[in-house]
Structure 1
């Protein structure tokens, strides 16, 4: 990932501040449009690349979803089995608790 140093960032911020606040109001709209155009041109069509990556991910999503639901069902069945296996233990504990309360 691209990382700029502090000097470059402060220069860009200073240029932006000068562009917006130190010009007559007639030129502000033109300067903003120019700034936005320059900003978009410096991005080197990253949005296009990001869109292509999103399309690839979206096309692979159904396969991942079906395998994910299979794993979810398997885990859910395992949880149900464990709960059913522990039911007698909890039942006996509740019975012992009731007998202790009566004493």
Structure 2
């Protein structure tokens, strides 16, 4: 059965803060309802905690790090789920139940087995 990643893009908030408790409860409800296909996932801390890494000159080159996200946007990558679904249609039907799909966006991609 194929595996898909569902990348959630929402407002850039701290999901661990008490102000997000009600919405996090909705995500927990989704997790319980989709338990049969979820293989992993997590919320991410805000983009202010991100470090962007680039290597100049290719492999072995200088490593440059920058605080913060790669790009500034209205919606940020705020979490992900790994889903094992029969096909893309099942994956789409599953993520349509995610709160991120109601007030942001969810990008679904198949994963290449390695």
TM-score, length of structure 1 as denominator length: 0.21
Which structure has the highest helix share of the two? 1
Q: Which has the higher contact order (CA 8 A, sep 6+)?
A: 2
**Which of structures 1 and 2 has the bigger CA Rg?**
1
